[in-house]
Amino acid sequence: MTLRLLSYNIRYGGSGREAALASVIRAAKPDVVVLQEATKPRVVEQLSRDTGLAHWGTRPGESLGYLAQRPLDHVEWRKPRVSRHAFIEIVPAGGAWRIVGVHLSAVHAAWTEERRRYELRALLLAIQQHQHGPHVLVGDFNTVAPGELVDFTKLPGRLRALVWLSGGKIRWKTIRGVLDAGYVDSFRSLNPDQVGYTFPTWDPHVRLDYLFVPGPCINRVSRCQVFSANEVCEASDHFPLIAELS
Phi-psi region of 168 (alpha: psi -120 to 50; beta: other; left: phi over 0): left
3-state secondary structure of 160: helix
Q: How many domains does the chain have?
A: 1
Nearest to 196 by CA among 223, 226, 173, 237: 226
Task: Identify the pLDDT of residue 72.
Answer: 96
- The answer to whether residues 76 and 64 touch, using CB atoms and an 8 Å cutoff, is no
3-state secondary structure of 11: coil
Task: Identify the pLDDT of residue 40.
Answer: 95
Could you state, in chain order, the average pLDDT of each consecutive group of 10 residues for the chain (246 residues)? 96 96 98 97 98 95 95 92 87 91 75 80 82 89 80 50 42 86 96 93 91 96 95 95 97
3-state secondary structure of 128: helix
Which CATH number covers residue 48? 3.60.10.10
* DSSP calls for 57-84: E--TT-S-EEEESS-EEEEEEE--TT-S
d(CA 168, CA 20): 37
Q: At residue 156, what is the residue type?
A: P
Q: What's the domain range around 73?
A: 3-245
